[in-house]
Structure 1
Amino acid sequence: MRDRTHRTGPPALRRALALFGAMALALVLAPTAPAQAFPASTRAQLVSFLNGISGQNMLSGQHNREPNSDPTKYTRVAQSITGQTPGLWGGDFLFDSADVNARQTMVNEAIRQWQGGSVVALTWHMCPPTMGSTCNWDNNIKSHLTDAQWNELVTNGSGLNNAYKNRLAEALPYLRQLQSAGVPVLFRPVHEMNEGWSWWGGRPGANGSRKLYQITYDYFTGQGLNNLVWVWNVKDVNMGSIADYWPGASYVDVASLDIWVKLEPSQSDYQAMLNIAGGKPIALAEVGRVPSPTIMNAQPRWAWWMVWAEWLTDPAYNNNAAVQASYFHSRVFNRGEFSIGGGGGGGSRTGAITGVGSGRCVDVPSSNSTNGTQLQIWTCNGTGAQSWTVGTDGTIRALGKCLDVNGGINADGTKVQLWDCTANNANQQWTYNATTRRLTNPVTGKCLDATGQGTADGTKLQVWTCNTQTNQQWTLPA
């Protein structure tokens, strides 16, 4: 986050229609009617969706900072500029008394946003556990705990540790409301942990800021919350040291970056995030400048970007033409252009590919997204390594990569692997026959096959001359 002392159809046709709508919106500043609402959904469905769009599409997003009594203030600004509703709505539990008292209003809006067709992302600028539930920015959020206080904070059962968990408990009723309403949440605690502007950040190592993130994860999951998509977050400083803040893959669903030191993410920033994520989705959780079409083309794995509040109209960062160009870029999903809960984005379907007997799924071994990883079958477990998006472009994707025939070789036994998705790559094209249940790669004319008609965990996948054996029979996501 920036310091609060800063001032507070076809593309051409689509743009024309939306800008016509923008003129009306500028007059009434009212949310547009959703083109497609989301049903009650799960964390797993949202994670699967993010995995499925990785490398293809990204969500437009807008944060709504103070006041919580008006939680669409900046979303309405985005609508007035573009005629579109962002694909992602951002909210914040915040810290001053007026905003804390309006948290219910903010959470009610989060439910409306999801039901209207926008993904929900929540942040929390939290008062330190050394004081009460409300506080101010300069003296409290931007304060610093002593080393002794920090050590107490991360020691289970200590006074400050219990005080921190009691602070987390303040959000518990609201997060449970979202869970009951079927709203999965992109939850980003202890954000920008690699910089020390906040009381929670700037402490590397096992007992540093990442430990506080782990405590937060363990507390909320221990309370039975299963609707939170855990978004780990750093800022674009000292990117070579972000591993000092990584809490471990089991604590992270999405790795995200905030861009404030620079106007746009550099290619090295992008690569650093891909490296740390290890195949998990990555995102731009906060930006001042809307990512340009050039950036989105060069860095296609960002799953979303979220503009921070009033920076949308700050002339040092954005102008209306640039904002419109980003919202109308071919990679970008705005509200109404994707679905979650009934499948994947843009008409695609996301979920497990099952076959070769009961309870067996097509699986990426150890979630290893390295090019050339040979795929296998494994007991179905609901992880991202078994979440496949069957696209309308003929590809089948997981962990941001494509199901690929090694070298396009048509010999029986050629391995089926994970590989970077590339446009018009015939090795990555698949057709499905619902009657025979076979997946065929048209360029080789061969079918996806479990080696040796095996059914055991770890049986490798290959292409083979199509036949009627059960080791070539698969069921795709609904």
Structure 2
Amino acid sequence: MRTTIFRRKAAALLAAIPLAGVAWLAASTSPASATGASTPAAVLGYLHQISGNHTISGVHNKEPLSNPSQYTAQAHALTGKWPGLWGGELGFRADDIANRQTMINQARTEWANGSLVNLTWHMCRPDVTSCEFDGGVNGSKLSDAEWQQLITSGTTLNNDYKAKLDTAVPYFQQLKDAGVPVLFRPLHEMNEGWAWWGGRSGPDGSARLYQITHDYLVSKGLTNIIWVWNVKDTDANGGSGGVAGFYPGDAYVDVASLDPWDHGFPTGDWYQALLAVAHGKPVSLAEVGTVPTPAQLASQPQWTWFMIWADYITSANSAAGLQATFGSSRVLSQGQFTIPGGGGPTPPTTPPGGSRTGAITGVGGTCVDVAGASSVNGTAVQLYDCNGTNAQVWTVGSDGTVRALGKCLDVTGQGTANGTVLQLWDCNGSGAQAWVAESDGHLRNPQSGRYLDVPGGDTANGTRLQIWDRNTNAWQLWHLPA
């Protein structure tokens, strides 16, 4: 984070695209369709799908909030493309706070045009209504005693902080009512101490304030927020090895992100640190000055988006460099992916046309089975003697899902590691519920890159199924319904 305003650096997407669709994305040149209501699950499912092969372009639009898309327009003028992610700011100065509605209107427009929406908040201290950046957001420290008061429920500073969050609730609610999922990045760069909320490691530190922020806004019914946790590539507070001390926990994070201001593009250790702490969640470059080159993105392929910081578009980039990246087949801008209209949080339980229904049989002539024929979320998916019951009737859909009892075959916890077990869960369009039937009988989960597997080839009734690296064992070969 630079230390002055002027030098400072800085939906739903298709929940279940047929898996051949990833190659199609880069080739599409038609305008993105207007976007209807959608969900965070759909956006996250899409990010999982592109992780490893594509990255969405993005640009942040800082103050003034009265002109909330000026830097996006600059990117278009230089590259001929509208970024696939629009970044906005909730503001800290009084005049910008007064223009939040203008910014929210722009966010709705950008979503309707086919871009993801990202919001950042350079928040003043909890006990200050508005402030300047220098001496307000940056450089205005809390004492240790004030910090303990801040994270203690019912205290003056804690109540002040929640009151400040309340000022943003109506704007998030407007986006929720419009069906717009929001990538929200609160308390960013928390592993560095330039802002009053940062630099405090451990369970009662910056991560605790993030948890309080999450829980409070969720308690207000804001189910449209995608929670983006963020750190900077600083050597302070343990460097990349200290990142875990600032992580608020998997239940609080949907996307893990990095701002590579010290190194320009992440070093290998920072890339690996983010992947390690993310536990299989999508990762992104939440702020960059110089746009990553196509070669850099190919070398670290799991970044799902980058967001250029506002005026750095022109101060840190050449037109040729911007054009090379925005024109790369790896990079998706507005019009190169489709954001479909959605509806409720759960897709219809009836799969689209072209599906096949029947038993899935495997090693020893046994069947894939839902334990106890239960449709409760989290029910184990196991191997069992074939018996013709509904617990063994599966629909292999043309949308990439495998369904039984009105729910989907799911990799537990979005896991990607060998040995992660399978369960039945509400269909939600995530990568954990996407499957590809290969011609030789293997069934692949693209998100993890691993395959439906019987542990050790054990054919005993009740053996719980898992994902595992592809091999030639008979217990990875499946016969699907005709």
Common fold, TM-score beyond 0.5? Answer: yes
Q: Which residue of 2 aligns with 1:233?
A: 230
1:386 and 2:443 correspond? no
Q: For residue 131 of structure 2, what is the aligned residue in structure 1?
A: 135
Shift of 1:359: 3.7
**Which residue of 360, 364, 369 maps to 2:411?**
364
CA deviation profile, 1:21-75 (whole Å, cap 9, x unmatched): xxxxxxxxxxxx9542222111111111111111121100000001110111100
Question: What TM-score comes out, normalization by structure 2 length?
Answer: 0.76
Cα deviation per residue 1:253-289 (whole Å; 9 max; x = unaligned)?
A: 0000011111111111111100000100000000011
The code of the aligned residue for 1:380 comes to D
Name 1:63's counterpart in structure 2.
60
> Which of 188, 194, 207 in structure 2 is aligned with 1:191?
188
> Contact 1:288–1:311 (CA<8 Å) still a contact in 2?
yes
The residue identity in structure 2 corresponding to 1:309 is: A
Q: Do residues 292 (structure 1) and 288 (structure 2) align?
A: no
Work out whether residues 84 and 335 of structure 1, in 8 Å CA contact, stay in contact via their aligned partners in 2: yes
- Any idea what SS the aligned residue of 1:339 has? coil
Look up the SS of the partner of 1:260 in the other structure: coil
Secondary structure of the residue that 1:139 maps to in structure 2?
coil
Q: Deviations over 1:203-256 (max 9, x none)?
A: 111111101100000001000010000000000011110100010000000000
Maintained 8 Å contact 1:179/1:227: yes
Letter in 2 for 1:183: V
- Matched with 2:109 is 112
Question: Cα distance, 1:335 vs. partner?
Answer: 0.3
1:2 to 2:2 alignment: yes
In structure 2, what is the Cα distance between the partners aligned to 1:405 and 1:206? 37
Structure 2: state its 5+ residue gaps. Answer: 9-25, 343-396
1:322 aligns with 2:321: yes
SS at match of 2:157: helix
Q: Relative contact order: is structure 1 or structure 2 higher (C-alpha 8 Å, sep ≥ 6)?
A: 2
Aligned to 1:373: 419
- Matched pairs, number: 400
Given the superposition, is the C-alpha separation of residues 198 and 250 from structure 1 closer, same or farther in structure 2, using an over 3 Å criterion?
same
Do 1:353 and 1:361's aligned partners in 2 also have CA atoms closer than 8 Å? yes
CA distance in 1, matches of 2:477, 2:450: 11
Query: Any residues of structure 2 matched to 1:53-132 within 5 Å, and which?
Result: 53-132=50-129
Task: Name the structure 1 match of 2:334.
Answer: 335
Secondary structure, counterpart of 1:203 in structure 2? coil
Secondary structure in 2 matching 1:285: strand
How far did residue 373 of structure 1 move? 3.1
- Residues 92 and 132 in structure 2, CA contact (< 8 A), matched pair in contact too: yes
Q: Which residue of 2 aligns with 1:463?
A: 477
Could you tell me how far apart the structure 1 residues matched to 2:341 and 2:433 are? 14
1:257 counterpart SS class: strand
Conservation of the 8 A alpha-carbon contact between 1:236 and 1:259 = yes
Aligned residue in 2 for 1:354: 402
Quickly say closer, same or farther: Cα 1:63–1:350, change in 2 above 3 A.
farther
Q: Which deviates further from its counterpart, 105-114 or 52-61?
A: 52-61
Distance (Å, rounded) in 1 between the aligned partners of 2:338 and 2:101:
26
- 2:198 pairs, out of 172, 196, 201, with 201
Q: Distance in 2 between matches of 1:119 and 1:396?
A: 28
Distance 1:233-1:374 versus aligned 2 partners, 3 A rule: closer
Are positions 1:148 and 2:196 aligned together? no
Change (3 A) 1:59 1:385: closer
Equivalent-residue separation in structure 1 for 2:429 and 2:33 (angstroms): 27
TM-score by length of 1: 0.76
**1:141 match: secondary structure:** coil
Return the offset for 1:384.
4.6
Corresponding residue for residue 178 of structure 1: 175
Q: Flag the 1:418–1:173 CA change in 2: closer, same or farther, 3 A.
A: farther
Contact 1:52 1:389 in 2 (8 A): no
Q: From the superposition, tell whether residues 418 and 312 of structure 1 become closer, same or farther in structure 2 (CA, over 3 Å).
A: farther
Q: 1:275 matched to which residue of 2?
A: 276
SS in 2 for 1:401: coil
Q: How far off is 1:473 after superposition?
A: 4.4
Question: What does residue 242 of structure 1 align with?
Answer: 243
Superposition RMSD in Å: 3.4
Aligned counterpart, 1:433: none
